[in-house]
């Protein structure tokens, strides 16, 4: 029998000295919405008490604020392009001590084995890493992924420690009572069921919520978000590098069912320059949200929703505490995770993780479009992952009208599919961009002006075993992402430098998008309206079916 709880009680009652006491801190209580001076006592990995305490070690915090460690309630670590170790090294010292991850990015490439690798890496670093079992791998029947997560795999992931079922993206499957998704919902009874239902309203939304789905992070419209709150859903407001929804939805705060999240949409460059959840906090304050309400949305609200023993400086909670020099600016002085200063350890990934690109090389003949006529063109929107459909006459690439080619190549060695369409909004005047980051199946996706350059970019990616490639005439610029074709095995600073060079080169091609790599990464996601493209072809998301690029053809 362990007597640690008795020792914790003895420290809390003043009969035993604490391991560490933060003396005379300005304690920010996100539950009662007040700030008061007190000591915070740690014993092992828990907070023993808040009041007056003495400890084996004491730190004078009389000029510092003590706030709970920040929680990102919905993220995909893989999207930062960082290994989990490097991610932790960057975000924990900035005050984010806990993340709730949907690891469906790596799962779409490597299946349950990829999730196991991330989970093992997390154990070696000072970050509280919770994960949910991916519900939609692949995201739908409209793409080819590297693996499938079925009912049996979800049960196995629960045994591995998954705290719930991750975002149920296949909302048409829920509404139509498709057996596969309903079975996943049923075996998740009693656990958290995260949602994903962009633009869903009225009776369809009621039906989705009635299945037991508890949250959504895809709202961009105020009335849509408010309707979801009225039906009892928890709302996650996304504020990342490309998708920024806080300005439209800020009037929903304060609300104890509202959280602020990144959705993994923070680039390594932006993390290094601006921060992670600390950046999200500052953005909320910039939008006029009171500091205590902003803190609630990234501490106690997600902690209570996910039943995590963090998010509040109170006895018995995990000793995840951030000391701040300035509350409004969130200037971090020191961070504690489990009552200790954080440590980070580089992780050696197994070889199978680094050999995930199994596509064959392509040639210009394979991506030719010889028809012309009225076509459905994907129009990307800067700062959004939603796309529009533009119907216009197309006779090949037309840079004057900003119409260029988009290509998706199945890269998992399953089908060998190649699909081709047209896209508007990138502004590229020459060259090509290709990458193995393409949510959610992470096939190779490329856009470009010439077939030869598109092929060279794609084939370079295959040789690299994943990454990002820009081709400009005879010049080829590459950024390898060797971990599942999604994440770098280099340190964050080197990755950021390479990413900046890639971004600069894309802008030289004429691109005006703020985050072209992120925008391109979502062009193949067939669960976000309106028009997308996967290895199976052009997808009308609202119809949830593959459609012909051309609506009418002329000779």
For 529-544, the pLDDT digits (tens) are 899 999 999 999 989 8
- Asked if the model's pLDDT at residue 18 lies above 60, the reply is yes
Q: Tell me the C-alpha distance between 265 and 528, whole Å.
A: 15
Residue 394 and residue 377 in contact, taking contact as beta carbons nearer than 8 Å:
yes
What pLDDT does 140 receive? 83
For the segment 254-270, the average pLDDT, to the nearest whole number, is 93
214-251 pLDDT tens trace: 999 999 999 999 999 999 999 999 997 767 899 999 99
Sequence spans of domains, the chain:
76-282, 352-554
What pLDDT does 322 receive? 98
What pLDDT does 2 receive? 62
- Asked if the model's pLDDT at residue 380 lies above 80, the reply is yes
Q: How does residue 345 score in pLDDT terms, banded at 50, 70 and 90?
A: very high
What pLDDT does 3 receive? 66
For the segment 177-192, the average pLDDT, to the nearest whole number, is 96
Matching residue, tokens 């095995």? 489
What mean pLDDT value characterizes the chain? Answer: 95
Q: Tell me the C-alpha distance between 516 and 522, whole Å.
A: 10
What pLDDT does 518 receive? 87
Radius of gyration of the chain (CA): 24
What pLDDT does 549 receive? 96
Q: Where are the alpha helices (DSSP H) in 239-314?
A: 246-249, 268-274, 277-286, 291-296, 300-306
98-137 pLDDT tens trace: 999 999 999 999 999 999 999 999 999 999 999 999 998 9
**In sequence order, what are the residues at sequence separation of 6 or more whose Cβ sits closer than 8 angstroms to the Cβ of residue 199?**
224, 529
Q: Tell me the C-alpha distance between 425 and 378, whole Å.
A: 8
What architecture (CATH level 2) is domain 76-282? Alpha-Beta Barrel (3.20)
């Amino acid at each position: 029998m362990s007597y640690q709880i008795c020792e914790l009680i003895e420290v809390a009652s003043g009969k035993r000295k604490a391991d560490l006491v933060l003396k005379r801190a300005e304690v920010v209580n996100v539950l009662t919405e007040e700030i008061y001076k007190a000591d915070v006592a740690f014993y092992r990995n828990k907070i023993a008490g808040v009041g007056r305490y003495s400890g084996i070690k004491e730190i004078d915090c009389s000029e510092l604020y003590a706030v709970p460690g920040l929680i990102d309630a919905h993220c995909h670590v893989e999207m930062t392009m960082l290994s989990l170790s490097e991610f932790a090294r960057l975000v924990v010292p900035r005050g984010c001590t806990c993340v709730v991850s949907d690891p469906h990015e790596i799962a779409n490439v490597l299946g349950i084995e990829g999730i196991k690798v991330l989970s093992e890496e997390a154990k070696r670093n000072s970050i509280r890493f919770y994960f949910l079992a991916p519900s939609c791998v692949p995201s739908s029947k409209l793409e080819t992924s590297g693996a499938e997560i079925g009912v049996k795999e979800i049960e196995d992931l629960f045994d591995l420690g998954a705290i719930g079922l991750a975002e149920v993206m296949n909302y048409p499957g829920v509404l139509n009572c498709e057996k596969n998704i309903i079975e996943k919902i049923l075996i998740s009874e009693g656990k958290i069921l995260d949602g994903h239902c962009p633009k869903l309203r009225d009776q369809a939304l009621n039906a989705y919520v009635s299945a037991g789905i508890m949250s959504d992070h895809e709202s961009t419209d105020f009335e849509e978000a408010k309707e979801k709150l009225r039906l009892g859903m928890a709302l996650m407001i996304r504020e990342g590098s490309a998708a920024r929804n806080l300005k439209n939805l800020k009037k929903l705060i304060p609300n104890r069912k509202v959280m602020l999240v990144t959705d993994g949409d923070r680039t390594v460059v932006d993390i290094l320059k601006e921060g992670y959840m600390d950046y999200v906090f500052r953005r909320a304050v910039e939008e006029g949200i009171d500091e205590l309400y902003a803190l609630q949305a990234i501490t106690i609200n997600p902690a209570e929703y996910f039943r995590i023993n963090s998010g509040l400086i109170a006895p018995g909670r995990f000793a995840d505490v951030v000391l701040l020099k300035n509350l409004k600016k969130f200037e971090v002085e020191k961070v504690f995770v489990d009552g200790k200063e954080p440590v980070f350890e580089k992780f050696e990934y197994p070889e199978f993780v680094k050999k995930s690109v199994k596509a064959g090389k392509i040639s210009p003949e394979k991506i030719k479009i010889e028809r012309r006529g009225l076509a459905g063109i994907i129009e990307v929107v800067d700062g959004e992952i939603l796309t529009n459909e533009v119907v216009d006459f197309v006779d090949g690439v037309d840079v004057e009208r900003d119409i260029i080619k988009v290509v998706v190549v199945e890269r998992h060695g399953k089908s060998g599919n190649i699909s081709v369409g047209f896209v508007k909004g990138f502004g590229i005047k020459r060259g090509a961009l290709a990458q193995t980051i393409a949510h959610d199946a992470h096939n190779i996706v490329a856009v470009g002006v010439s077939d030869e350059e598109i092929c060279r970019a794609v084939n370079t990616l295959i040789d690299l075993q994943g990454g990002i490639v820009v081709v400009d005439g005879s010049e080829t610029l590459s950024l390898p992402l060797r971990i599942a074709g999604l994440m770098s095995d280099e340190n964050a600073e080197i990755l950021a430098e390479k990413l900046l060079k890639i971004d600069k080169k894309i802008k030289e091609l004429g691109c005006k998008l703020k985050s072209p790599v992120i925008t391109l990464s979502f062009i193949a996601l067939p669960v976000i309206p309106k028009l997308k493209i996967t290895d199976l072809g052009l997808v009308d998301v609202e119809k949830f079916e593959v459609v012909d690029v051309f609506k009418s053809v002329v000779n």
